[in-house]
Structure 1
Amino acid sequence: MRAVIIEDESLIAEEMKANIAAVADDVQVIEMLPSLKTARRWFMNNAAPDLLFMDIRLSDGLSFELFDEFTLNCPVIFCTAYEEYAIRAFKVNGVDYLLKPVQEEDLKKAIDKVRSMQENKNFVPGDLQQLVQYFSNPLLSKVQYKERFVINSGNKWAPVETRAIALFYKDNLNYVYTFNGDRFIYDFSALEDIEEVLDPAIFFRANRQAIINIHSIQSVKPHGNQKLVVQLKQPLKLEIDISREKAPLFKKWIDR
């Protein structure tokens, strides 16, 4: 299969290409396109590939704009920072969705799914248009995120508005930090459970231990091996590490 990657972060695109080669030797990446502009130019002069890997939010717009301008009947695997629960119900034939950073096991399953559908000739490109309409309509795609959390405060329970939370942190215990510096214990089994109910435009999963609010960030400084260190605003005065793998996603998330 001939494949094209549309991704505006060069590090992510190169990593995706390497991962594809590792899990599917029958898939040849023939082009990596870093923007809508370059993608438009490429599709004007080339036929659609057998498979597309597409980021959703590019530096110059949404990748869905390509479907308004070109007839792309090939299967598409979206590689996105959207939360999995928000798009789970919209999985359709021949299309899959990988959350960044993409794991090799998930990538292999997605390619196997596309390969199987092509072999059985049951890929229906019309379903892709339903997904495009979904993301293009803000009323239909509006997701309800959790508005408040009930935390332990002494011997009492107390509601804390989500917008007042600067940081979720998992250590020996699970903590919620508010912007005024208070720290509360909150009962959750995994950060994944919290991540699924938060607005991804406001909250970012920094690492295995922390989810940070964009409004809590004081500064960001580079660290060794392409890592980042996030300094949170006072009175928190905490430093949160961003891994090399997540650094490009973080930069894209904060610079929008």
Structure 2
Amino acid sequence: MIRIIIIEDEAAAAERLEKMLMTMPFDIKIIKILDSVSDSVAFLSTEDNFDLLLMDIHLSDGNSFDIFKFLTIRKPIIFTTAYDEYALDAFKLYAVDYLLKPIKKDLLEMSIKKYQQIFNPKLPDYSKLTNATHPQKRWMIKIGHQIRIVDYHDVSYYFTKEKITYLITFEGKKYPLDVPLKQIELHIKDNNYFRINRQYIIHFQSIGHMSTHTKSRVRIMLKPTDEEVVVSTERSPIFKKWLIK
């Protein structure tokens, strides 16, 4: 069973979400519908018996991100909003997806399937019943006042340096990404990517040259930057199997 809390200040929108959820091929229980920051803080401060949040951003008494100023919530969230400018902030949290209103049932259903695959893989994989694909395939990157869109498949590798995450495209362009590597692993369901150590996630096609290193590790020269990296000791055996899959 998926126990869901809906945070939505528009009664009609909340009712529509509830009706859509209850007609989907999942075992769903709506625990509570909340319509404000204050009510959400009061309820969630004492209630932890739920699995998933459906959260609007603009509420009757403020912004739903204000909830996280009072509480630490480590539950997955599907954001449902009419505004796209909060996407970067949303994915700093435990965001499964970011859906723009009016919410379409098929996209919401895909988001629930995505939640199952990431957070509860033991549940039946309903994605096999349809040709549904992963709804998010691009990164939205804010640079000053500009916004750049980068497709997942254009990324050669990701890395973190001094607590900042970056991506390098196959064209050699470097962009800061306001998402930790762990979150990137959750969002990219592509077997062509592999996390070689704590600092790097690389694409198979980014491997330019490989050589042996100490303790059975592997040294890699990455394309297109010619940067040298080393696969960690604990990841090396899995990495070698990944290479020949």
Q: Which interval holds the TM-score relative to the shorter structure?
A: 0.3 to 0.5
Which structure carries more helix by proportion?
A: 1
- TM-score, reference length from structure 2: 0.47
Select the structure with the greater relative contact order (CA < 8 A; seq sep ≥ 6). 1
Which structure carries more strand by proportion?
A: 2
